[in-house]
Structure 1
């Protein structure tokens, strides 16, 4: 004897739906409760400083006295300051690191994306500089760059340097020397991102192309590289923004010298804020740096076609 399913009345269906809605609302409240500590920290340490910093950009403020509204005067002073333009110029020069570090990181990722014995050791070795404190890295490379140091000895032996002079003490080479340290330290970070991108590419596409007679270089240019476009967008955005607001390397290794040759835009804002106590001027400089970062971010989207991989 088969039992017929009980017919549910509309009132009971409505009651079940209301119960389901209450459960959903409860789950939502629980989710927000778990997110609340992070959201509070985000507002306190990110959102509020951005709002307050934007306000300070239009004021005269030195901590001791309350902010005094001055309108666009801080921006006018910035545009008249040759030191700010010099720092901005060096920050834009630093962007030359971006294409170099992306190309090398892709090549290293391709190198370690192989099922070889001991490959985990090499992946770790490439990543060690990333997790090393820049205070330690800066001190090590400052010693390597000093007069009669290891780097000078090698360059003199290769005939690439005629005079034994510390690279960080020479205005012509100081910025390039610091840029190389940034390059060396950042390769491992972007290598990991590109490695994740490579491992997300379907091997069936590459195998099918090889079966059809494509060479390894053709597979790379027509399948691998287009599939990496989303990762390239993320990495280029991160490295471009880091290059524009370079600070740690300058602070630890050169302090903006020699003769202002490594003075960056962000180091300028730091100096105005904590040396001269002109917080309004420093905030105005920060807004300009943020605006330039947005412009280069848009350019990255254009160059990578919005990070869309080819179908």
Structure 2
């Protein structure tokens, strides 16, 4: 009796389940579709507040700003369609071209900040005692308000300040004068502040990228006789390619749209040596109330940013690591 019971149980376990009828399959499929639609609607309901804010504060300003670029608008009277007149005005505006040249010069800080960030990430990625303190110390400038940073560095750059004292002692500067009041050094001085403030941010991103690389790859390369430099060029750097793409994109766009540093430290001076394209846009919009002209300048800056973004994708192969 017990043997018969065990055989029946085994038969039930090994028997192929009966084929479900087509009508039953359609009924089950309909129920699954209803569940999927309901789940999707619930998901979009949760996202609706964010989507509404995105549409209101991001998508709509982009379209409205593009429209304003082809109008004459001073916030008092309604926008007046003028076609390409604003772009023709910008073409003849030497101040706009000067600001655009300074913004393009500012891109020179991008490779420097990326190289330093990678080196710092490699340095703090070691399991040393107290390494958490150094990681925090390098990141402190990132979370410091630029108003505070600008005031501190303005004081350090002034005549008789600590920076001048160091440069004079090293023989790198013959005359003790404010670096921000010298047209030959003002832009470089502001770029150094951007470098000092931003290197910690990109260091953290590169540190995350380093920790995502499988250590077994580097260990296998070392066992095969590879040097540290060979491991870096053939394993570490290709593994960081997605992070390099993100960091280079962010830093390039930030360099083209540089504004805070200029506004706090130099106001575009001296003699327009630090006048940037975005500072030109700010001046035309909130000083001269030429919103159409400012929107046209902003549209040109956006197109240039897109171009350099595509260039970054090309240089980093779209962030794809080597197979």
Same fold (TM over 0.5): yes
- 1:158: Cα distance to partner? 1.0
Indicate the SS of the match to 2:183. coil
Q: 2:111 aligns with which of 95, 99, 114?
A: 99
Give distance in 2, aligned partners of 1:120 and 1:20.
Answer: 50
TM-score by length of 2: 0.94
Q: CA deviation at 1:8?
A: 3.8
Larger-Rg structure: 2
Distance 1:7 1:82 in 2: 80
Q: 1:17 aligns with which of 25, 29, 32?
A: 29
Secondary structure in 2 matching 1:214 = coil
**Shift of the alpha carbon at 1:157?**
1.1
Superposition map of 1:1-311 within 5 A: 1-2=8-9, 8-311=20-323
Shift of 1:207: 0.6
Decide which moves more: 295-304 or 90-99.
Answer: 295-304
Q: Kindly state the Cα deviation for residue 44 of structure 1 after the two structures are TM-superposed.
A: 0.6
- TM-score normalised by structure 1 residue count: 0.97
Q: Aligned partners of 2:112 and 2:18: how far apart in 1?
A: 70
User: Which has the higher mean CA deviation after the structures are superposed, 222-231 or 46-55?
Assistant: 222-231
Deviations 1:176-220 (A, max 9, x none): 000000000010111111111111111111111100111101100
Unaligned residue ranges in structure 1 (runs of 5+): none
CA RMSD of aligned residues (A): 1.2
**Aligned-partner Cα distance in 2 for 1:129–1:9:** 68
2:87 match: secondary structure: helix
Q: Which runs of 4+ in 1 moved over 6 A?
A: none
Which whole-Å CA distance do the structure 2 matches of 1:196 and 1:143 have between them? 35
Per mean C-alpha deviation after superposition, the further-off stretch among 81-90 and 25-34 is 25-34
State the distance in 1 between where 2:204 and 2:37 align.
39
Secondary structure of the residue aligned to 2:159 is coil
Q: Distance in 2 between matches of 1:20 and 1:227?
A: 41
Cα offset for 1:10?
Answer: 2.8
CA deviation map 1:229-248 (0-9, x unaligned): 11111111111111001001
| SS of aligned partner of 1:12 | helix
Change (3 A) 1:308 1:6: closer
Q: Distance in 2 between matches of 1:247 and 1:185?
A: 14
Distance in 2 separating the partners of 1:108 and 1:98: 15
Q: Describe the shift of the 1:7–1:225 C-alpha distance in structure 2 as closer, same or farther (beyond 3 A).
A: closer
The SS at the match of 1:52 is helix
Cα displacement (A) at 1:134: 0.6
Q: CA deviation at 1:126?
A: 0.8
What displacement does 1:130 show?
0.8
Structure-1 residue corresponding to 2:4: none
Distance 2:320 2:19 in 1: 51
